Amino acid sequence: MGELLQGINLQNVPNHIAIIMDGNGRWAKGKGMQRVFGHKNALTAVREAVAGASDIGAKFITLYAFSTENWNRPKLEVDALMSLLVSSLKKELPGFQENGIKINSIGNTEQLPKKAQKVLAEVIDATKDNTTITLTFALSYGAREEIVNAIKNISKKVVNNELDIEKINEKIINNHLYTFNLPDVDLMIRTSGEQRISNFLLWQMAYAELYFTEVLWPDFRREHLFEAIINYQNRERRFGKTSEQVTENE
């Protein structure tokens, strides 16, 4: 792992890393256990990913913890996930404080059970002054729903003459998204070998680099994050420009 870290250019790390934590169910099934077992064993991967991001100086990491579509899963699994969310936030709070981790959430969190909402709000408030890294949990999150809500809220302002339709631009839209206080995503990592975005941060990942790994999420460790960072650094991010233009601006 030390060699991997040494191979990273700390002057060119992604500011915002987003992760689709996939493979918990398959990991559990491979061990002859129920899916919930995989979710419970995913916490180490979360700690490792956040610690790795902090090691390289990334300032934001967003984890796709529970999507709007996940509500359609069996009730037993959903209840277990909500219970795990509550217990994990309580258990990890001392570590968040010790390591300067600021907790944030995005999504329709009003759909979460009241107890989960309460604990989440308490942890967000307790860590609001931490500055090392911002850890955002996407909970009851769906990018299409996020964009629809933004359009509705912007439309209301236009109808109420609070906003001139000609003034609507990318900044206005950004300010009406759940992620209004976060920068665009630079690197998106998805574990388990699946290669799709699954309704995650569609607007925010417009120019993100996408990295897919076969590693199942419960097995994800710091070195896997570093491998993704090295892969990211070996790419040319052009943002619509030509290679020559990018070179000229360096």
Catalytic one among 70, 99, 108, 130?
70
Known catalytic residue at 41: no
pLDDT tens digits, 158-189? 999 999 999 999 999 999 999 999 999 999 99
CA of 101: how far to CAs of 9, 10, 123, 135, 182, in Å? 23, 20, 11, 7, 15
Q: Which residues contact 71 (CB under 8 A, 6 or more apart)?
A: 78, 111, 140
Structure tokens belonging to residue 180: 């209004």
Structure tokens belonging to residue 67: 């999507």
Known catalytic residue at 22: yes
Q: Which residues contact 72 (CB under 8 A, 6 or more apart)?
A: none
Distance CA 198, CA 136 (A): 18
pLDDT tens digits, 95-128? 999 999 999 999 999 999 999 999 999 999 999 9
Q: Which residues contact 191 (CB under 8 A, 6 or more apart)?
A: 19, 20, 21, 22, 23, 213, 215, 216, 217, 220
Tell me whether residue 47 is annotated as binding: no
Instruction: Return the bridge partners of 17, or none.
Output: 61, 187
- The chain-wide mean pLDDT, for the chain, equals 93
- CATH fold of 12-142+184-235 reads Undecaprenyl pyrophosphate synthetase (3.40.1180)
Handedness of CA 211, 213, 217, 223 (dihedral sign): negative
Tell me whether residue 221 is annotated as binding: no
Q: Which residues contact 66 (CB under 8 A, 6 or more apart)?
A: 81, 85, 107, 138, 139, 140, 141
The residue length of the chain stands at 250
Tell me whether residue 22 is annotated as binding: yes
pLDDT tens digits, 15-70? 999 999 999 999 999 999 988 888 889 999 999 999 999 999 999 999 999 999 99
Tell me whether residue 73 is annotated as binding: yes
Tell me whether residue 217 is annotated as binding: no
CA of 57: how far to CAs of 9, 204, 247, in Å? 11, 20, 25
